[in-house]
Structure 1
Amino acid sequence: MHRAARTASVAIALATAFAVTACGSSAGDEVAADKKQTLTVWAMGAEGEKLAEVAEQYKKANPNITVKVTPVGWDVAHQKLVSAAAAGKLPDVAQMGGSYLGEFTELGVLEPVDTKTFDKKDFFPAGWQQGEVDGTSYGVPWYVDTRVLYYRTDLAKKAGVDKPPADWKGLRDMASALRDKGDSKWGIYLQPRGLDTVQSFYPFLYSAGGEIVDKDGKAAFDSPATVKALKEYGAYMKDGLSTKSSQPGYDPLKDFNTGDVPMFFSGPWISTLIKDQYPGLKGKWGIAPVPADKTSTSMAGGSSLVISKDSPHKAAAKEFIQYLTDAKGQADWFERTSDLPANTKAWESGELADNPDLQVFKKQMETAKTSPALAKWTEVTSKVDAAIESVTQGKASAEDAAEKAQSEIENLVK
């Protein structure tokens, strides 16, 4: 789920607009699922392009339903959704990630999920939780992702390391060995500063047992677990095992190819990129679960599918989402996109069951933790980004950085 900027002026405009437009459709206005109709769907990025193919396939089996898919670039997705919501013109179905859900549910424009149709037991827990706000589900998980450790097996062997690290000490030792004996410039890449540094920090925070906001919605960033994670993360820069500076949007793959960066954390799409862009690395790299502190816990990402509260096509929308999120539809979507299925039954056969690398992601997803769906989550994580940067740049101790961020986050979630 990509991140988008939000402003107070947008919030004010929305509040004004919704006072006039957000009234919801009545049951009498709704069209039965078997009637001839056009279903409007917005999907983002590559998913938007691929979904049009699925829509054509769906129409062959459901000739009364025309699914009109509009691909939307991630760079304009948030503003486009905001504008549509304010005008009362959201599509019947939209792709939405956790960082958007809190905002749009607060505005009252999303239809709650029919939990008699969609069973949370069919999905990874973290995938389902991404669509929940205050105990009510608004999004059905469409695909998931999580972060695991990518490492150069050939350089590890050269450095005298024969297996991936299982815990924090093992990770630090392996990073040192790769730098000192594996001819690598760095031991690992961890984002040191800038927008979304929190994405790189999550595996440390969650594995230590820390969190940014607790289950009751209260700031929890100054806990001993968080301080421990900040110290561990910052130590990689302090000890010269990871760079203290990188350009915005830096992609470690080129340096992974040269060996300058022999380890980094990332998601499932990287496996495809390595195979496609760097075929010379075949047999020279591997993936492993997040090294554990208290636990091995990574972040959960991905997207859900939501239905507009004002849609007159809710019944047809629900059936289309069923088609996309049952085990068969999820397996088909994986074949088309390599997006990891949110429905766990899709992992029981084929490549998803047999590929050991994919099984690493499955294992990691089973314990992954999702961020809470809060309207101001982007602002909250910007405070965390600043705290991490102050530690990695040696400007503040972990204790002081956590305390400062805690105070700022409290003001945002109270």
Structure 2
Amino acid sequence: MASALGLTAVLAGCAGLGTPGSGEVTLRLVAADYGDSEANSSQKYWDALVEEYEADHPDVRVEVSVYSWNDVDRKVKEMVAAGKAPDMAQIGAYADYAAQDLLHPVGELLSIPVQADLLPQLSEAGRVKRTAYGMPFVASTRVLFYNKKLFADAGITDAPKSWNDLAADAAVLKADGVRIPYALPLGPEEAQAETMQWLLSGGDGYTDDIGNYQFDSEANVDTFTWLKDRLVDKGLTGPTPPAELNRADAFTAFTNGEVGMLNGHPTLMKTATEKGVKFGMVPMPGRGGRSTAHLGVADWMMAFKQNGHREEIGDFLDFVYSDKNVLAFARMYDLLPVTTSASRIMSDTESDAALAPFLAELPDTEFYPVGKTSWAEVSAAVKKRMGKAVAPGGSPKAVLDGLQRMAESADAAGEEK
């Protein structure tokens, strides 16, 4: 992501005050930057949105500070710790703040029509103990990308539908000299995404139907045992050990024409197209056919109670979640809208056709258990440990058992907060 544009000086001032005696309210929003340069920084989106909003709301000022993803969560945490919480934050997780009773429930903010328009599975993912605190801001799903030229050169005529198909195709690609038949990024950047996608395709996931961690389930152990035996140990995941391969490096290798298959999100389409890579996209293969459950990733908007601007925040967020603004941001960064109405518009718009495979998965997506206060700690452990499960001499069962014990302990500690 692009480097931070810098937190404006207003954040050092007294939060929540307008000009003395003016009756003006100042709302402060800290947001993440989805751009990769100053030219496409999210600051430009927010500046245009705020200018339009303020034109119709002369008694409300909105000041938006945009930070890179490397910094934004930490910056908000520091502000909250200093007693200077922003009115709103658009970041990666909300559960810790909700557990500390720092956030407004969504029902106190958004109008009923806007609440009802949020995609149901995303609204559900925004809950802590059955109360919604996180508002989904933008989403993405993952599909299997494959290099059409490498497939054709190797004589492969169809995209894989099952794990066995994927393994067989990877073996053919390797025999044809492809450097990385299947890229398996289990490095520290985003191992939690690749892991969850494989666990879902194997029939389980991180949690069971009632929200308890289930790392050590029989299906999960079988999934990573298959990965180790059928892909990694056979040399079908390339020269870099999965534990050392990050998503960004895997994407770069794909756009350089060195990867036969990998799991990717919508932004990979643009970079691959710019590099002239001819690619196809299909749902993730499953144990016996196409997977019926898909990984979804969402980023979140939340509103802090500290400054007492509930009504103004709610009105501004209703504007943020209008179709026009939701679609503008999603299209700017090749992501997916988080409302039913905007999703329907995107599905019916020819210029958005490239996103159709990702939109089609939205109804069957499952998201990280972000409503658990333990998730940040558990996610960090997955990033650190999961690659070891498929390393030479590694034991998928031992790694998953260890993660289960750690997750249960972190969950219990979170419940005590």
Same fold (TM over 0.5): yes
Please tell me whether residue 164 in structure 1 is matched to residue 152 in structure 2: no
Please name the residue that 1:303 is paired with: 299
Question: Corresponding residue for 1:226?
Answer: 220
CA distance in 2, matches of 1:163, 1:62: 56
2:8 aligned partner: none
2:187–2:247 contact (8 Å) kept in structure 1? no
Partner of 1:371: 368
> Which of the numbers 392, 395, 411 marks the counterpart of 1:394?
392
Moved more, 247-256 or 338-347: 247-256
TM-score, length-scaled by structure 1: 0.83
Equivalences for residues 215-294 of structure 1 within 5 A: 215-234=209-228, 235-243=230-238, 244-245=240-241, 246=244, 250-276=248-274, 278=275, 280-281=276-277, 284-293=278-287
Between the aligned partners of 2:341 and 2:122, the Cα distance in structure 1 is 14
Q: Give structure 1 regions of 4+ aligned residues with deviation exceeding 6 angstroms.
A: none
Q: Specify the alignment match of 1:44 in structure 2.
A: 32
Hey, what's the Cα distance between the residues in 1 that align with 2:173 and 2:120?
36
Q: Which amino acid aligns with 1:117?
A: I
Instruction: Determine whether 1:204 maps to 2:198.
Output: yes
> For residues 331-367 of structure 1, what are the alpha-carbon distances to aligned partners after superposition, in whole Å with 9 as ceiling and x for unaligned?
2223433332111211333576434431100112221
**Cα pair 1:149 1:266 within 8 Å, conserved:** yes
Identify the structure with bigger relative contact order (alpha carbons < 8 Å, sequence gap 6+): 1
Structure 1 residues 157 and 352, CA gap change in structure 2 (3 angstroms): farther
Corresponding residue for residue 337 of structure 2: 341
8 Å Cα contact 2:30-2:64 kept in structure 1:
yes
The CA RMSD over aligned residues, in Å, is: 2.7
Cα shift at 1:54:
1.4
- Report 1:9-408 matches (<5 A): 36-46=24-34, 47-97=42-92, 100-114=93-107, 117=112, 121-181=116-176, 183-234=177-228, 235-243=230-238, 244-245=240-241, 246=244, 250-276=248-274, 278=275, 280-281=276-277, 284-293=278-287, 295-349=291-345, 353-354=349-350, 355-372=352-369, 373-408=371-406
Residues 347 and 353 of structure 2 are in contact (CA less than 8 Å); yes or no, is this contact kept in structure 1?
no
Query: Match of 1:252, SS?
Result: helix
| Matched-pair contact (CA < 8 Å) for 1:213–1:221 | yes
Verify the 8 A CA contact 1:147 1:298 in the aligned structure 2. Answer: yes
State the percentage of identical aligned residues: 23
Q: Cα distance 1:335–1:59, how it changes in 2: closer, same or farther (>3 A)?
A: farther
Distance (Å, rounded) in 2 between the aligned partners of 1:118 and 1:387 = 43
Aligned partner of 1:211: which letter? G
Q: What is the Cα deviation at residue 213 of structure 1?
A: 3.3
- Structure 1 counterpart SS, 2:70: helix
- Rounded to whole Å, the distance in 2 between the matches of 1:219 and 1:334 is 31
What is the alpha-carbon distance in structure 2 between the residues aligned to residue 95 and residue 151 of structure 1? 33
Secondary structure, counterpart of 1:329 in structure 2: helix
For residues 68 and 117 of structure 2, the distance between their equivalents in structure 1, rounded to whole angstroms, comes to 30
Distance (Å, rounded) in 2 between the aligned partners of 1:121 and 1:161: 45
**Superposed CA offset, 1:371-396 (max 9, x none):** 11222212212333454222211333
Unaligned ranges ≥5, structure 1 = 2-24, 30-34
Distance in 2 (CA, whole Å) between partners of 1:57 and 1:339 is 23
Quickly say closer, same or farther: Cα 1:395–1:410, change in 2 above 3 A: farther
Q: Which runs of 5+ in 2 are unaligned?
A: 2-15, 18-22, 35-41, 413-417
TM-score (norm 2): 0.82
Partner SS, residue 340 of structure 1: coil
- Give the counterpart letter for 1:73 in structure 2: S
1:10-30 deviation per Cα after TM superposition (whole angstroms, max 9, x unaligned): xxxxxxxxxxxxxxx9xxx9x
SS at 2:398 equivalent:
helix
Q: Quick one: which amino acid aligns to residue 391 of structure 2? A: Q
Cα distance between partner residues in 2 of 1:173 and 1:121: 45
Paired residues in the alignment total 377
Confirm or deny: 8 A CA contact 2:255 2:271 kept in the other structure.
no
Contact 1:198 1:385 (8 Å CA) reproduced: yes
Q: Is the CA contact (8 Å cut-off) linking 2:373 and 2:411 kept in structure 1?
A: no
User: Tell me, what secondary structure is at the counterpart of 2:367?
Assistant: coil
Which whole-Å CA distance do the structure 2 matches of 1:260 and 1:233 have between them? Answer: 20
Tell me, in whole angstroms, the C-alpha distance in 2 between the residues paired with 1:352 and 1:288.
20
